[in-house]
């Protein structure tokens, strides 16, 4: 009975946390960034550590995810809440690759 419980617990953890599969590609990275563009909002940690003034009407957030892939989110300064207007890769495009993941 204990072995069944252990296996069941492991399957639940894998199912809800997601599992990557396939080769990492730049196209999957772009898909994820476009999704993040629609849903991402900065929290207090992001505001205090990563936000800089880009222009009169935009903030910029510099990030490095995954390691070696440097990109920025551009957000509006005028409206509340902040919304992502665009994202740009600054450097390390060859490192900007992600895998697909599945989960429940």
pLDDT in tens, 73-99: 888 888 778 888 889 999 988 988 888
| Residues 31-62 pLDDT 10s | 888 988 888 877 777 777 888 888 888 889 88
Tokens found for residue 55: 């222009």
Q: Number of structural domains, the chain?
A: 1
Domain residues for 19? 2-102
Instruction: Read off the pTM.
Output: 0.67
Among 87, 83, 70, CA closest to 32: 87
pLDDT of residue 70: 93
Model confidence band, residue 104 (pLDDT cutoffs 50, 70, 90): low
Bridge partners (DSSP) of residue 73 are 61, 87
């Amino acid at each position: 009975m204990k072995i069944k419980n252990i296996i069941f617990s492991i399957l639940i953890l894998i199912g809800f946390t997601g599992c990557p599969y396939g080769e990492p590609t730049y196209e999957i990275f772009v898909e994820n960034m476009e999704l993040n563009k629609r849903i991402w909002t900065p929290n207090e940690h992001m505001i205090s550590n990563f936000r800089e003034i880009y222009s009169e009407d935009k903030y910029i957030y510099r990030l490095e995810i995954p390691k070696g892939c440097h990109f920025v989110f551009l957000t509006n300064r005028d409206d509340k809440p902040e919304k992502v207007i665009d994202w740009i890769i600054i450097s390390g495009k060859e490192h900007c690759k992600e895998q697909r993941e599945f989960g429940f």
